[in-house]
C-alpha cells in the first residue's frame, strides 16, 4: 500500500514535510503513482502518519508548486501527467524550474489535467493540443455534464431507505434477478410509457449500473464485429466505449434533422447510435420524417438496429415533450437506453436498456447468467421513489430550476449575438455558441480560461474536423444563478464583447 511505505524519520536532519515531499515525488517519478491518481487528503494523511496537518499541507504545496500534483476544487489532489515528463527526458534529469520551463512552461500540467477530465466527462482533447492553460484557477466551469445537486430530496430518499432497511426485507439482501427486480421493471415500463411513449413489457428491460455497463452488455448481444454509425459530433463517452469494443465506427454527418440516412446504406452499417429527442452536443431534435427514414433503413435487413440514447429527455423547457424514437418503432428495431443519472443524481448508478424481442432472446441465451450490477436495496429505493410519485415531483421541481437558469443564461448571452449565433436552446442543460467570424475553439477556450472560465469545444475529441465554425458549449446545470451571471460577464471581457 502506497502510504504504508513512507517511513518517517523523526529527530533526523531531514524535516518531516521534506520526507513526505521526497517520497511522493519519487513515487511519481518512478511511475508508481500514475497520472490522474488521487492522493489521500491532507487530513487523512496527517492522521495516518501522525503528523500535523500543516506538515502534509506544506509537502503538498511544494509538490503542487513544482507541478507534480495539482489541486482540484472540492475533489482533492491529483498526480499530473508522468508520461509527459518521461517523454521530455526529465525522468533522470535534475528537476529544476528551468527544466520545467524548457518543457513548455506548464503546458504539460494542463494537458495532464485535460486528459484526466476527459476520463471524467467524456470530453477529450486533441492529441498535441497545447496552450489552453492559465495561472488563474477555474472559478466558473460551464460544464455540460454537471447537474444541480442542491435540489436533491435528501429527506425523502432517507425516509424510503429507512423503510426498506428492515429485517422483514431480508430477501433484499439475496441475489436478485439478472435483469433487475421485476417490480422496478414494471415501474420503469410504466414511467417510460406515460412520459416517453415507449412501448415495452417489463420483461424487455435490463437494469444495469450505468450506461457504460449496459453498452458492454450490448456488445455481448450484438456481437464483437459491428459496423456502427455515430453522428458527427456525438457523445464522446459512447464514442470511446464503441472504440474500446473495436467496433468499426462510421461517423455520419448531420443536417438540420439529425443523422443523414444515405450513408448508412452506402457504408453497410449494422447499427446506428442516435439521440433523436435532443442530440448531444448539437441539441438537434429529430423530426418524425427522419425518424421514419431511420426506421425504414433498419427494417431493410434483419440484423440492423437503432440504438436510441434518451439521455436527458426529462428537461424540455418550451413546447411539447418529444416522444422517444422507440415509440414509433413497430418492428422491434430500436434498442432504447435511459438513465437516472441526469434526472436524479449521477451517483444513482441505475440505467436501463429496453431490448426488442429478437435481441432479448439472444441476451437470455448468451448473457442471461450475468448478475445484475445494481443492488436490490438500491433498486427498491428507486422503485419507491418513482412509484410513490416523488420522482415526478422532483422532475417538475428541477425542470423549473433548470428553466430559470437556461433563461438567465440566454439573457446574459444577448450581447454575444453580435459575434456568435446561439443554438441548442429550450432543452437540456447546455447551449451552443458558434462564432460568426473565423477563430478557433482553442482560442476561445484559452481566452476564457485566462479569466477563470471554462467552456467546452464542440470539436474536441473525435479527431474529426469537418471545417465547421468554431463552436463552444456552455453548460448551466451545475452553476448557481450568480455564477452564471458572473461567468457570462467574464466571458464578455475574455471575448471582447460590448454591451
List binders of a copy of itself among 282-341 (CB under 8 A): 341
Does residue 112 touch a copy of itself according to CB under 8 A?
no
Encoded one letter per residue, x for contact with a copy of itself by CB under 8 A and - for no contact, window 120-149 reads x-x--------------------------x
Does residue 195 touch a copy of itself according to CB under 8 A?
no
What is residue 100's three-state secondary structure?
helix
Does residue 395 touch a copy of itself according to CB under 8 A?
no
The binder of a copy of itself chosen from 42, 106, 189, 282 (CB under 8 A): 189
Does residue 465 touch a copy of itself according to CB under 8 A?
no
Closest CB to a copy of itself among residues 131, 210? 210
Encoded one letter per residue, x for contact with a copy of itself by CB under 8 A and - for no contact, window 29-48 reads --xxxxxxxx-x---x----
Does residue 240 touch a copy of itself according to CB under 8 A?
yes
On whether the CB atoms of residues 123 and 238 are closer than 8 A, the answer is no
Closest CB to a copy of itself among residues 82, 488? 82
The binder of a copy of itself chosen from 22, 57, 203, 407 (CB under 8 A): 203
Q: CB under 8 A: which stretch of 185-193, 316-324, 466-474, 484-492 binds a copy of itself?
A: 185-193
What are 89's three cell numbers? 527526458
Q: CB under 8 A: which stretch of 135-143, 176-184, 249-257, 400-408 binds a copy of itself?
A: 176-184
Closest approach, Cβ 350 to a copy of itself, in A, equals 8
Phi-psi map region of 480: left, alpha, beta (phi>0 left; psi -120 to 50 alpha)? beta
**Burial class of residue 495 (count of CB atoms within 10 Å of its CB; 0-12, 13-18, 19+):** buried
DSSP lists the bridge partners of residue 353 as: 206, 337
Task: Return all residues near 458 (Cβ < 8 A) that are at least 6 apart.
Answer: 233, 281, 282, 432, 441, 468, 471, 472, 473
Rg value, the chain, Cα: 25
The binder of a copy of itself chosen from 176, 233, 281, 477 (CB under 8 A): 176
CA dihedral 208, 213, 215, 220 (to 10 degrees): -90
Distance CA 39, CA 19 (A): 16
Does residue 483 touch a copy of itself according to CB under 8 A?
no
On whether the CB atoms of residues 395 and 438 are closer than 8 A, the answer is no
What are 63's three cell numbers? 509538490
Encoded one letter per residue, x for contact with a copy of itself by CB under 8 A and - for no contact, window 365-384 reads -xxxxxxxxxxxxx------
Amino acid at each position: 500500500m502506497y502510504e504504508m511505505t513512507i517511513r518517517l524519520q523523526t529527530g533526523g536532519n531531514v524535516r518531516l514535510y521534506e520526507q513526505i515531499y521526497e517520497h511522493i515525488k519519487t513515487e511519481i517519478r518512478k511511475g508508481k503513482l500514475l497520472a490522474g491518481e488521487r492522493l489521500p487528503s491532507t487530513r487523512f494523511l496527517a492522521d495516518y502518519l501522525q503528523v500535523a496537518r500543516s506538515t502534509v499541507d506544506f509537502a503538498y504545496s511544494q509538490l503542487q508548486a513544482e507541478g507534480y500534483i495539482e489541486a482540484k476544487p472540492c475533489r482533492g489532489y491529483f498526480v499530473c501527467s508522468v508520461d509527459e515528463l518521461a517523454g521530455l527526458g526529465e525522468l533522470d534529469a535534475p528537476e529544476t524550474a528551468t527544466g520545467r520551463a524548457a518543457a513548455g512552461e506548464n503546458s504539460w500540467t494542463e494537458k495532464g489535467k485535460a486528459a484526466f477530465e476527459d476520463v471524467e466527462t467524456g470530453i477529450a482533447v486533441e492529441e498535441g493540443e497545447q496552450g489552453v492553460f492559465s495561472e488563474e484557477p477555474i472559478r466558473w466551469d460551464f460544464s455540460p455534464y454537471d447537474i444541480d445537486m442542491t435540489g436533491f430530496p435528501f429527506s425523502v430518499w432517507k425516509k424510503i431507505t429507512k423503510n426498506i432497511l428492515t429485517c422483514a426485507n431480508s430477501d433484499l439482501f439475496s441475489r436478485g434477478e439478472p435483469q433487475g427486480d421485476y417490480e422496478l421493471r414494471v415501474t420503469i415500463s410504466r414511467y417510460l410509457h406515460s412520459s416517453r411513449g415507449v412501448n415495452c413489457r417489463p420483461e424487455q428491460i435490463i437494469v444495469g449500473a450505468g450506461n457504460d455497463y449496459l453498452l458492454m452488455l450490448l456488445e455481448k448481444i450484438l456481437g464483437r464485429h459491428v459496423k456502427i454509425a455515430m453522428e458527427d459530433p456525438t457523445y464522446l463517452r459512447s464514442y470511446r466505449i464503441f472504440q474500446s469494443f473495436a467496433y468499426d465506427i462510421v461517423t455520419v454527418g448531420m443536417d438540420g434533422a439529425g443523422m443523414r440516412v444515405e450513408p448508412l446504406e452506402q457504408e453497410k452499417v449494422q447499427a446506428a447510435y442516435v439521440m433523436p429527442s435532443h442530440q448531444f452536443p448539437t441539441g438537434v431534435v429529430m423530426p418524425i420524417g427522419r425518424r421514419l427514414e431511420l426506421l425504414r433503413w433498419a427494417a431493410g435487413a434483419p440484423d440492423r438496429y437503432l440504438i436510441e440514447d434518451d439521455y436527458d429527455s426529462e428537461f424540455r423547457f418550451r413546447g411539447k415533450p418529444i416522444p422517444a424514437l422507440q415509440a414509433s418503432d413497430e418492428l422491434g428495431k430500436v434498442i432504447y437506453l435511459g438513465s437516472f443519472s441526469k434526472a436524479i443524481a449521477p451517483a444513482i448508478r441505475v440505467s436501463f436498456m429496453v431490448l426488442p424481442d429478437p435481441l432479448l432472446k439472444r441476451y437470455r441465451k448468451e448473457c442471461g447468467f450475468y448478475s445484475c450490477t445494481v443492488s436490490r436495496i438500491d433498486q427498491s429505493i428507486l422503485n419507491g421513489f418513482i412509484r410513490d410519485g416523488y420522482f415526478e415531483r422532483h422532475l417538475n421541481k428541477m425542470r423549473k430550476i433548470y428553466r430559470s437558469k437556461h433563461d438567465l443564461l440566454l439573457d446574459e448571452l444577448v450581447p454575444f449575438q453580435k459575434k456568435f449565433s446561439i443554438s441548442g436552446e429550450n432543452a437540456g442543460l447546455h447551449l451552443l455558441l458558434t462564432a460568426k467570424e473565423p477563430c478557433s475553439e482553442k482560442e476561445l477556450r484559452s481566452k476564457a480560461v485566462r479569466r477563470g472560465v471554462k467552456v467546452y469545444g464542440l470539436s474536441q475529441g473525435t479527431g474529426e474536423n469537418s471545417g465547421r465554425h468554431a463552436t463552444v458549449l456552455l453548460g448551466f446545470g451545475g452553476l448557481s444563478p450568480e455564477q452564471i451571471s458572473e461567468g457570462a460577464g467574464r466571458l464578455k471581457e475574455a471575448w471582447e464583447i460590448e454591451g
